[in-house]
């Protein structure tokens, strides 16, 4: 593979190298390195355009959505099922879904592109059932088990089950194994009309692993940056203790299916979170999502940016990451789903903002008072 540059980082448990394929983009504008608090994998690629571990301007995030969507063929066989990976890429997937739907269908209100996310939160329907379609493993993750729900709306369910094209979205691909595991789980569960598969990532270090492994249908791998990575592990380095965040149980604050934005499948998500919020031109604003709840908060951030505020977007996470390299600071607090697991917020300095909006799909009482007080945040609850 032709390469124009190598990026490296010395971590506590070894040295990570990335050899980048020729690109007009500046890789340092797209990602940096960090160290996982995870004995299964020491390194982490931290995106600078994702809006998860580093606050990002919504317009920059939207640019990456459009750039990735433009690489996906607009003539994929219909219907198209697009799946975003929990928790890091559920917002990225939603953004690519919106951009791709516009590029494919224009301004039409009719869409043949369903967006669905993997999740670690079981969702009950109106009858209290949890309509699971399948699950799969992300072996290296701090929370390896992913759930895929069956849509409850008949029209969405039909589009999903009859999908002829599958687009899988993640922030990065290291080995391609997560995509491969998900594809196998979906087809074994009954998604048997697929004709094409597309993987879509910001950065892809897997060197074509998916297309080499999945040979029963055409595979296209699209990304903004490509290359290969290698890790020189220090076998004498002590392994970190990883916090237990792997649960896929229902918490004390269950998910309301009426507020779904992707776990049960959607073709469109309304921009109605914080509809009454007003900002001043030039006001420095930070909008924060919580865990997997990031798309509606992003739409709020985008709306406030278009209103003239200087907006950044980021989110809390259950991903345990060590301080150093791309991670300059971290807040620790208890999750807002009532699971009793640690959550984290990275690289946020409250003094840089005039106002901070902390957005959640769970009630205000579920949110950490310590986090709200540290941030001086205004709480915005999804009540649609």
Tell me the pLDDT band of 236, cut-offs 50, 70 and 90: very high
Percent of the chain residues past pLDDT 90, beyond the cut: 84
Per-residue pLDDT, averaged over 199-216, amounts to: 96
303 pLDDT higher than 70:
yes
Tell me the pLDDT band of 106, cut-offs 50, 70 and 90: confident
Q: Tell me what pLDDT residue 2 has.
A: 45
pTM for the whole thing?
Answer: 0.95
206 pLDDT higher than 60:
yes
Give the C-alpha separation, 129 to 119, whole Å.
16
Compare 254 and 117 and report the one with higher pLDDT: 117
Per-residue pLDDT, averaged over 82-110, amounts to: 92
Strand order through the sheet with 310-315:
310-315, 284-289, 355-360, 378-381
Question: What does 152-188 look like in DSSP terms, one character per residue?
Answer: SSHHHHHHHHT-SEEEEEEEEESSSHHHHHHHHHHHH
Q: Tell me what pLDDT residue 263 has.
A: 96
Compare 129 and 79 and report the one with higher pLDDT: 79
Tell me the pLDDT band of 341, cut-offs 50, 70 and 90: very high
Per-residue pLDDT, averaged over 233-255, amounts to: 89
78 pLDDT higher than 50:
yes
DSSP for residue 119 = B
Q: Tell me what pLDDT residue 258 has.
A: 86
374: three-class secondary structure by DSSP = helix
188 pLDDT higher than 80:
yes
Q: Tell me what pLDDT residue 140 has.
A: 52
Average pLDDT of the chain, as a whole number:
93
Q: Tell me what pLDDT residue 126 has.
A: 52
Q: Tell me what pLDDT residue 83 has.
A: 98
Give the C-alpha separation, 162 to 176, whole Å.
25
Q: Tell me what pLDDT residue 131 has.
A: 84
Write the secondary structure of 216-231 as one string of H (helix), E (strand) and C (coil).
Answer: CCCEEEEEEEEEEEEE
Q: Tell me what pLDDT residue 3 has.
A: 44
Compare 306 and 140 and report the one with higher pLDDT: 306
Per-residue pLDDT, averaged over 331-339, amounts to: 96
In contact, 274 and 380? CB cutoff 8 Å: yes
- Which residue, among 263, 86, 280, has the nearest Cα to 178 in the 3D structure? 86
Q: Tell me what pLDDT residue 109 has.
A: 67
pLDDT tens digits, one per residue of 131-184: 899 999 875 565 578 899 999 999 999 999 999 999 999 999 999 999 999 999
In contact, 91 and 295? CB cutoff 8 Å: yes
Q: Tell me what pLDDT residue 8 has.
A: 96
Paired with 219 in beta bridges are: 197
Question: Which residues fall within 8 angstroms of residue 44, CB to CB, at 6 or more apart?
Answer: 33, 34, 35, 36, 319, 321
Q: Tell me what pLDDT residue 40 has.
A: 87
């Amino acid at each position: 593979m032709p390469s124009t540059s190598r990026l490296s980082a010395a971590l506590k448990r070894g040295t990570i190298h990335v050899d980048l394929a020729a690109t007009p983009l500046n890789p340092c504008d797209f990602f940096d390195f960090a160290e996982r608090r995870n004995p299964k994998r020491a390194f982490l690629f931290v995106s600078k355009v994702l809006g998860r571990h580093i606050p990002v301007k919504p317009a920059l995030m939207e640019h990456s959505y459009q750039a990735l969507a433009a690489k996906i063929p607009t003539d994929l066989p219909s219907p198209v099922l697009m799946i975003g990976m929990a928790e890091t890429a559920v917002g990225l997937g939603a953004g690519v879904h919106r951009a791709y739907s516009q590029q494919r269908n224009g301004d039409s209100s009719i869409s043949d592109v369903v967006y669905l996310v993997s999740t670690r939160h079981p969702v009950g329907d109106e009858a209290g059932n949890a309509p699971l379609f399948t699950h799969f493993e992300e072996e290296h993750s701090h929370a390896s088990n992913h759930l895929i729900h069956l849509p409850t709306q008949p029209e969405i369910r039909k589009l999903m089950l009859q999908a002829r094209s599958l687009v899988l979205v993640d922030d990065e691909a290291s080995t391609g194994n997560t995509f491969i595991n998900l594809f196998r789980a979906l087809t074994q569960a009954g998604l048997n009309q697929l004709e094409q598969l597309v993987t879509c990532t910001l950065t892809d270090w897997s060197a074509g692993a998916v297309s080499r492994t999945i040979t029963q249908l055409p595979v296209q791998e699209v990304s903004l940056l490509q290359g290969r990575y290698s890790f020189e592990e220090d076998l004498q380095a002590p392994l970190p203790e990883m916090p237990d965040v792997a649960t896929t149980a229902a918490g004390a604050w269950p998910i309301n299916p009426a507020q779904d934005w992707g776990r049960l499948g959607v073709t469109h998500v309304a921009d109605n979170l914080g509809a009454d919020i007003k900002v001043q031109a030039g006001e420095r604003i930070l909008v924060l999502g919580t865990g997997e709840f990031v798309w509606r908060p992003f739409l709020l951030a985008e709306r406030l940016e278009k209103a003239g505020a200087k907006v950044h977007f980021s989110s809390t996470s259950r991903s345990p990451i060590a301080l150093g390299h791309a991670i300059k600071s971290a807040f620790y607090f208890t999750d807002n789903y009532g699971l009793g697991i640690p959550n984290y917020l990275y690289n946020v300095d409250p003094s840089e903002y005039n106002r901070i909006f902390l957005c959640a799909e769970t009630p205000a009482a579920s949110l950490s008072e310590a986090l709200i007080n540290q941030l001086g945040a205004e709480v915005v609850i999804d009540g649609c």
